[in-house]
């Protein structure tokens, strides 16, 4: 087919195409959409015509996506999600309701840290309401993609093709220690001093880019970290030393924490970690713009 599309994709046909991609077959997709296979096949032929692209390889009863089809499947999800968000915001504006901006953040960012990042927007939009939700990384990405969360916040720099991203700021990584830990009395701890010490993480390396970032910092300091995953999930990271007896990387201010049972001390050399914002592509937001231009 030609390289220049004659039309933009119809959203109804795009939704049907994604159903085929998800189901893996025309038959299963037609059943889930409650339409006939013939009607669905005709709709896909029209979509291919509109886009001037071959989206499927048809080999007998077998249907697989071409390279163009794979691209449309990925981009189409983003486009449909953005369309739903636009429809919801239009309905909200038409009803006269104040905007409710939903922020999701991973456990690696505390609620107070998330609020500090959003405070410029909270101040700039006194009539908008803001809701903060803590989500694990996989839940956060899905919630941002489907529009239930308008802005996601996480630690580290995570590559993603489905979402738009930006770094809102950097925080210094510090060390939280049980009060009785041998290093707790020091004003600063060199990262090399953690060699042989147990380090508590809230997620294992490979499941968290932030954990990967921290473990890489240890390896650059010349040692293989001995880590344990905290058995208490969703609580403030600074609480991990209480249940593990281990050192924990935090971005909390230095000094006593958790009623004095934990001590937060500086880590040397200075290690900075970014706070990454994620949002739906193909959408606009004046609230988000305030955060990105501050």
DSSP per position, 187-212: SEEEGGGGTTSEEEESS-BTTBHHHH
Beta-strand (E) ranges in 123-172? 129-134, 151-155, 163-172
Under the banding of pLDDT at 50, 70 and 90, the label for residue 87 is confident
Q: Decide if 156 contacts 293 (C-beta within 8 A).
A: no
Q: Decide if 75 contacts 69 (C-beta within 8 A).
A: no
The domains found in the chain, sorted by start residue, are: 11-91 (1.10.10.10), 98-170+275-293 (3.40.190.10), 174-270 (3.40.190.10)
Could you give the CA distance from residue 42 to residue 17 in angstroms, rounded to a whole number?
Answer: 12
For residues 88-98, average pLDDT: 73
* Across 1-10, 12-21, 187-196, 243-252, least confident range: 1-10
Q: Write the pLDDT tens digit of every residue in 223-280.
A: 999 999 999 988 889 999 999 999 999 999 999 999 999 999 999 999 999 999 999 9
Mean predicted lDDT score pLDDT of the chain: 90
The two three-digit tokens of residue 225, written as one number: 């970290």
pTM recorded for the entire structure: 0.75
Taking 80 as the threshold, does the pLDDT of residue 41 lie above it?
A: yes
For residues 173-188, average pLDDT: 96
């Amino acid at each position: 087919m030609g390289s220049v599309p004659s039309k933009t994709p119809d959203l109804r046909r795009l939704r049907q195409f994604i159903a085929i991609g998800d189901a893996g077959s025309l038959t299963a997709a037609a059943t889930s959409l409650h339409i006939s296979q013939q009607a669905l096949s005709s709709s896909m032929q029209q979509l291919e015509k509109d886009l001037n692209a071959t989206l499927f390889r048809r080999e007998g009863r077998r249907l697989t996506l071409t390279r163009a089809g794979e691209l449309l499947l990925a981009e189409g999800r983003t486009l449909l999600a953005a369309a739903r968000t636009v429809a919801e915001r239009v309905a909200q504006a038409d009803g006269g309701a104040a905007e409710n901006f939903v922020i999701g953040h991973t456990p690696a960012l505390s609620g107070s840290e998330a609020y500090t990042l959003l405070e410029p927007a909270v101040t700039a939009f006194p009539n908008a309401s803001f809701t903060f939700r803590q989500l694990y990384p996989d839940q956060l990405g899905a919630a941002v993609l489907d529009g239930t969360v308008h802005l996601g916040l996480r630690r580290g720099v995570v590559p993603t093709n489905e979402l738009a991203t930006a770094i809102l700021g950097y925080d210094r990584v510090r060390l939280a220690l049980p009060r009785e830990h041998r290093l707790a009395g020091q004003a600063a701890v060199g990262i090399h001093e953690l060699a042989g010490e147990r380090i508590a993480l809230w997620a294992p390396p490979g499941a968290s880019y932030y954990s990967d970032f921290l473990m890489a910092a240890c390896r650059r300091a010349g040692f293989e970290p001995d880590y344990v995953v905290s058995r208490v999930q969703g609580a403030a990271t600074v609480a991990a030393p209480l249940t593990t007896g281990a050192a924990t990387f935090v971005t909390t201010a230095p000094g006593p924490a958790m009623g004095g049972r934990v001590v937060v001390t500086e880590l040397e050399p200075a290690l900075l970690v970014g706070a990454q914002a994620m949002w739906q592509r193909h959408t606009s937001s004046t609230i988000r713009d305030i955060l990105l231009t501050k």
